[in-house]
A and B are shown apart, each in its own frame.
Chain A
């Protein structure tokens, strides 16, 4: 059974390269470019994993994360955050908000593909 990944990112070229890479891994890809619509899109698409750009227009990635984690149905959704801020302090804030993994731009394709695989793998493992 294929897995579905939602990419929340406003840079069309980044969406395109991610979509290309991840569909070659056998995943189904959906994308959303506007921060305010991420939650609606999550409800519609029901993905197995969310890739979230922290610097989205109109709504900050931090705020989106908060809203996602407030919904019980998405409390356990694996989230991979794309960030341009490598600072420790921001990371702590993201961890507090429930980010499972970070990827700092510019990342390598290999790094990204293996992080996605690892996140999906650990999400599949039976919960303790």
Chain B
């Protein structure tokens, strides 16, 4: 039952007017015991009786029952619960809203401000964790601390050091401490400059962050879809038929197709586009089923501090429903087994599971159950203009979250060969090698003369796993000419001779070639 402060307000007003319960009950034509129940919120009233009581008390009905009261009580309660404020009685919340709705609103506004601030702090820490300058500085600090600690321990531990060693080691401790001071000052400056308010994140970016924070694996959704699938008792590609059947039999939703754009929106009809590829149609039906059957779980999962507003939560809910659809159509164990068996051949996996390239690639990325992980993949999608979506990074291989990636990456080359898989052995400046696999995907069959809705999708993994992937075979000979020297983004790349450079590098000159850390301590000493 939703708690409303009507009873409380009636009681307050009655006392204010110096009326007894029996007097008011008599005037309103109800029994004293009934009025008592009303005043203690044990009976919900409305309509004629509410109007009568308001008239007897000489107030507007809206004074007793405001449309905002219900949500206000609810939100205040939620706020208390989200902050784990125990010992707050629900009755007191009702009393607060009854007597001082403005105070309740002020509390909620404060709480929202607090949430915004917490969010700001989170995004700052996120930004800092990706800052190359900060990365170099923290490396310098760790190095200096390591030297200081080690020599200090040596000085304390060994009694038999000769005078020369003693002097030298103390000298090192002193000089490294000086450097440490400079590094720390440089870091404070850097952090100071980073405190400028960042732009608020869009709901899309919030959802990206949310997924990244969960490492793109949602165990609860995996087990929920596993149970659902067991209950439906089907396997393989037949699951699509079973899903359609379940939508109609259990939820009264008819799946229908439309070729045009005019669709009567209806709760009982699920419209699908005839021009969508078969795999998309199956996926959408699965997603719809998950949205219905796992509604509570989805609602719970999006209660996450990274999703700060309703738009982000609803977008996150849709992303999770897609995850669930993938888990339902391509069950974890079977899919992992098939992936290893087919050596991660995306085309063969797509054929086996009736999935699209993007669906298969995406499911591969989620195979990260701690006890049974597949090859760890990064994921990225871009449209022809370079607008990035769904970035997912793995250690060593960060995917850009804003702007573009390195123009030499296979994800862009794939646009010149639509529909064909482009593989690439990408070598970073530090000599790390990653295997990239990219292909364009069309979202909807275009008629003659129509432009397709096209994206390029890429997954990438450490070349360490190359021999487990069919795509690694052509690089197995180790021929250097097959490698592509790349960066991550122009801003963070020091290949100054690159012909595709679009922006100047933020990293200083050729310093890395000589001594990577010199400019850091040097700059810090200034």
Q: Does A76 contact B (CB under 8 A)?
A: no
| CB neighbors of B among A6-54 (8 A) | 10-11, 13-14, 16-18, 20-21, 24, 35-36
B464 near A: Cβ within 8 Å?
Answer: yes
Bound CA span A42–B395, Å: 27
- Does B151 contact A13, Cβ atoms closer than 8 Å? yes
B430→A58 contact, CB < 8 A = yes
Interface members, chain B 428-454 (any A CB < 8 Å): 428, 430-433
A107 adjacent to B146 (CB under 8 Å): yes
Question: Smallest CB-CB separation from B427: which chain A residue?
Answer: A63
A17 touches B151 (CB 8 A): yes
Contact partners of B157 in chain A: CB under 8 A: 109
A59 at the interface (CB under 8 A from B): yes
Q: For chain A residues 54-109, which have a beta carbon within 8 Å of chain B?
A: 55, 57-60, 62-63, 66, 84, 87, 89-90, 92-93, 96-97, 105-109
Provide the residues of chain A in CB contact with B396, threshold 8 Å. Answer: 62, 90, 93
Q: Which residues of A contact B158 (CB under 8 A)?
A: 24
Nearest CB on A from B212, distance (A) = 12
Query: B146 touches which one: A20, A66, A93, A106 (CB < 8 A)?
Result: A106
Chain B, residue nearest A66 (CB): B464
- CB-based contact A108/B431 at 8 Å: no
Kindly list chain B residues whose C-beta atoms are within 8 Å of the C-beta of A35: 431
In the complex, per-residue mask of B460-495: 1 if CB is within 8 Å of any chain A CB, else 0? 001110000000000000000000000000000000
**Is B267 in contact with chain A by the CB < 8 A criterion?**
no
Inter-chain contacts of A24 with B (CB < 8 A): 158
- A21 partner residues in chain B, CB cutoff 8 A: 150, 154
Q: Are A63 and B143 neighbours in the complex by a CB distance under 8 Å?
A: no
Candidates B176, B395, B462, B464; contact of A13 at CB < 8 Å = B176
Nearest chain A CB to B171's CB is how many angstroms away? Answer: 11
Q: Is the beta-carbon distance between B395 and A89 smaller than 8 angstroms?
A: yes
- When the two chains form the complex, which single residue of A60, A66, A105 contacts B143, counting CB atoms closer than 8 Å? A105
Asked if A63 and B432 sit within 8 Å, CB to CB, the answer is yes
Q: Which residue of A lies closest to B512 (CB)?
A: A57
Query: Is A106 a contact of B149 with CB atoms below 8 Å?
Result: yes
Contact at B154–A87, with CB atoms within 8 Å?
no
Size of B's binding interface in residues, CB under 8 A: 34
CA gap between A116 and B243 in the complex, in Å: 59
Residue numbers in A under 8 Å from B462 (CB-CB): 62, 93
Closest chain A CB from B179 CB (angstroms)? 10
Name the one of A55, A58, A107 contacting B139, with C-beta atoms under 8 angstroms. Answer: A55
B392 to chain A, nearest CB (A): 13
A92 to chain B, nearest CB (A): 8
Tell whether B172 is near chain A: CB-to-CB under 8 Å. yes
Given contacts A58-B430, A90-B395, contact A96 B146 (CB under 8 A): no
Name the CB-closest residue of B to A88: B395
Given A17-B154, A21-B154, A58–B513 Cβ distance below 8 Å? yes
* B residues in contact with A13, CB < 8 Å: 147, 151, 172, 176
B477 to chain A, nearest CB (A): 13
**Cα distance, A24 to B165, chains bound together (Å):** 13
Residues of A within 8 A of B145 (CB): 105-106
Instruction: Given A13-B151, A93-B462, A109-B154, check contact A57 B515 (CB 8 Å).
Output: yes
Q: How far is the CB of B141 from chain A (nearest CB, A)?
A: 9
- Within the complex, the shortest CB–CB distance from B391 to chain A, in Å, comes to 16
List of A residues within 8 angstroms of B394 by Cβ: 89
**Within 8 Å CB of B231, what residues of A?**
none
Given A13-B172, A57-B516, A93-B395: A106 touches B153 (CB 8 Å cut-off): no
Task: Name the A residues within 8 Å of B56 (CB-CB).
Answer: none
Is the pair B513, A106 in contact by a Cβ cutoff of 8 Å?
Answer: no
Contact B142 A105 (CB under 8 A): yes
Chain A residues lying within 8 Å of B512, measured Cβ to Cβ, are: 57-58
Check if B138 is an interface residue, CB within 8 A of chain A. yes
Residue in B153, B176, B433 whose beta carbon sits within 8 Å of that of A108 in the complex: B153
Cβ contacts under 8 Å, A18 to chain B: 150
In the complex, which of the residues A16, A24, A60, A106 has the most CB atoms of chain B within 10 Å of its own CB atom?
Answer: A106
CB-nearest residue of chain B to A104? B142
> Most A CB atoms within 10 A — which of B148, B154, B394?
B154
A67 to B431, CA, bound (A): 11
Write the nearest CB–CB distance from B370 to chain A, whole angstroms: 10
Which among B145, B176, B396 has the greatest number of chain A C-beta atoms within 10 A?
Answer: B396
Q: Of all chain A residues, which has the CB nearest B138?
A: A84
Name the distance in Å between B343's Cβ and chain A's nearest Cβ.
18
Docked Cα-Cα span, A121 to B261, in Å, equals 73
Instruction: Name which of B147, B153, B158 has the most chain A CB atoms within 10 A of its CB.
Output: B147
Verify A109–B150 contact, CB threshold 8 A. Answer: yes
Task: Give chain A residues whose Cβ lies under 8 Å from the Cβ of B148.
Answer: 106
Could you list 20 further interchain pairs (A-B, Cβ under 8 angstroms) beyond the known A55-B139, A58-B513, A97-B464?
Answer: A10-B515, A13-B151, A14-B143, A20-B154, A57-B516, A59-B431, A60-B430, A60-B431, A63-B430, A66-B463, A66-B464, A84-B138, A84-B143, A93-B396, A93-B462, A105-B142, A106-B148, A106-B149, A106-B150, A107-B146
Can you name 13 A-B residue pairings with CB atoms under 8 Å? A13-B151, A13-B176, A17-B151, A20-B154, A21-B154, A35-B431, A58-B512, A90-B396, A96-B464, A106-B146, A106-B149, A108-B149, A109-B153
A binding-site residues for B, Cβ under 8 Å: 10-11, 13-14, 16-18, 20-21, 24, 35-36, 55, 57-60, 62-63, 66, 84, 87, 89-90, 92-93, 96-97, 105-110
* Chain B residues proximal to chain A, CB less than 8 Å: 138-139, 142-143, 145-151, 153-154, 157-158, 165, 172, 176, 394-396, 428, 430-433, 462-464, 512-513, 515-517
Q: Which 5 A-B pairs have the closest CB atoms?
A: A17-B150, A60-B430, A13-B147, A106-B146, A63-B431
